[in-house]
């Protein structure tokens, strides 16, 4: 499989599982799949982003179904947020794919390093803030659309789903955590679908590696959903923060 040795393939599968847990348990986490493909393979930036983003089609759909079943996507305000994010993703994702096509390997590593550190900072900030009222407050549609467009463009560039950026941003703006998680899953389906079409057109998807990372990622999504609903996630949050901060300098220098 792309000439990779067994330990590397195992590491990619483990990162896929961890990414899936992070997607539904705390929102950020999907970037771990992109990090693994960039750090452990010789794929180009377009191939890294394309191979990673295709895995989020299934994980986004599964996570959306999970949050629909739990009732969070039946709430009219959460549903409106989800639809606004999804609509913004239709415009934002192609922009990210286009930018990726002109980014060098070195520049992509720097972007991914900054991206990882930024996500860690957002998770830390969200966790340090006082917990909002569980009912939250309803964000303006224009604000949600702006967040959705920016998240989609960044996600299309790096090859991730929407939750890792959308969730901490929405929560910081005052949305309830589970509402933000649920809405972001819907957007991730659109980001992944549109992004996959863009990278597929460019021939930039390694399908065997996408399956290697994507199947464990699906299992992780189910596990993460259980964690998000039943278990404290503080330890997982700080493990993710430490990992992303530690990896950021390496990624920036790796390209």
Residue 244 lies in a domain: yes
With 90 as the cut, is the pLDDT of residue 97 above it? yes
pLDDT 10s digits, 111-160: 888 888 887 887 777 666 655 555 555 788 999 999 999 999 999 999 98
The range of the structural domain enclosing residue 42 comes to 6-254
Question: How far is Cα 225 from Cα 22, in angstroms, rounded to an integer?
Answer: 9
Residue 15 lies in a domain: yes
Residue 109 lies in a domain: yes
- Nearest-Å Rg of the Cα atoms of the chain is 16
Question: How far is Cα 82 from Cα 122, in angstroms, rounded to an integer?
Answer: 20
Residue 66 lies in a domain: yes
Residue 89 lies in a domain: yes
0.85 cut: is pTM over it?
no
Residue 1 lies in a domain: no
pLDDT 10s digits, 169-179: 888 888 887 88
Task: For the chain, count helices (H), then strands (E).
Answer: 10, 0
Count of domains forming the chain: 1
């Amino acid at each position: 499989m792309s000439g990779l040795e067994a330990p590397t393939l195992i590491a990619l599968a483990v990162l896929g599982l961890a990414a899936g847990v992070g997607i539904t348990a705390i929102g950020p986490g999907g970037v771990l799949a992109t990090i693994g493909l960039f750090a452990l393979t010789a794929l180009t930036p377009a191939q890294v982003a394309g191979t990673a983003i295709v895995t989020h089609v299934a994980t986004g759909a599964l996570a959306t179904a999970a949050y629909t079943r739990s009732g969070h996507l039946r709430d009219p305000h959460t549903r409106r947020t989800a639809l606004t994010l999804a609509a913004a993703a239709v415009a934002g994702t192609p922009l990210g794919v286009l930018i990726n096509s002109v980014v060098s390997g070195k520049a992509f590593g720097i972007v991914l390093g900054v991206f990882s550190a930024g996500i860690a900072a957002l998770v830390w900030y969200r966790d340090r803030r006082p917990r909002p009222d569980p009912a939250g407050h309803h964000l303006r549609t224009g604000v949600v659309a702006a967040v959705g467009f920016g998240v989609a463009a960044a996600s299309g560039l790096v090859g991730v789903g929407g939750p890792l950026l959308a969730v901490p941003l929405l929560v910081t703006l005052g949305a309830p955590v589970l509402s933000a998680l649920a809405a972001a899953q819907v957007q991730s389906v659109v980001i992944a679908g549109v992004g996959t079409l863009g990278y597929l057109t460019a021939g930039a998807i390694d399908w065997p590696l996408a399956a290697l990372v994507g199947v464990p990622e699906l299992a992780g999504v189910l596990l993460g959903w259980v964690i998000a609903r039943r278990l404290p996630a503080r330890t997982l949050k700080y493990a993710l923060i430490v990992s992303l901060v530690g990896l950021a300098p390496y990624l920036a220098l790796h390209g």
